């Protein structure tokens, strides 16, 4: 007996236009729910990004975001996991020493943080998939 259907968003559930067959989903979702099958959308992206694809289905689709660090059910966060602050500070310090902060971001519950002087290609990439962004003049200083 199938109890759960889970799918990755990017490159799997979403097509090359970063969308999906919404009419088909609207027909299939109630059938799955009727049979007691839970539906889970997984992604490394922020909750806000994934949730934007399921407007009207917030009560029915469980969302696993940030590579499993955040789990939402019925629009409510039911699980949250994060690195301790000292580990984040050490990682950012290491990236700074290796001159990688221009291509680095720190993800939080409400936003994704990156350096204002970040590489243009990096900014373009994250703006496509991360709706909640905050620029910081100094990412290394931000974590302290």
Catalytic residues: 8
Task: State CA 38 to chain mean position distance.
Answer: 20
What's the longest Cα–Cα distance across the chain?
54
- 46/35 Cα distance (integer angstroms): 29
């Amino acid at each position: 007996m199938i109890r759960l259907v889970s799918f990755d968003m990017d490159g799997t559930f979403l097509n090359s236009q970063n969308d999906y067959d919404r009419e088909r989903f609207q027909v299939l979702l109630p059938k799955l729910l009727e049979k007691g099958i839970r539906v889970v959308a997984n992604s490394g992206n922020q909750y806000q990004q994934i949730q934007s694809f399921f407007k009207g289905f917030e009560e029915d689709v469980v969302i696993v975001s940030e590579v499993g660090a955040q789990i939402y059910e019925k629009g409510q966060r039911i699980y949250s996991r994060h690195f301790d602050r000292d580990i984040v500070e050490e990682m950012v310090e290491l990236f700074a020493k290796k001159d990688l902060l221009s291509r680095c971001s720190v993800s939080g519950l409400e936003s994704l943080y990156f350096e204002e002087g970040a590489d243009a290609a990096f900014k373009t990439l994250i703006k496509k998939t991360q709706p909640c962004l905050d620029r910081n003049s100094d990412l290394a200083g931000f974590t302290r």
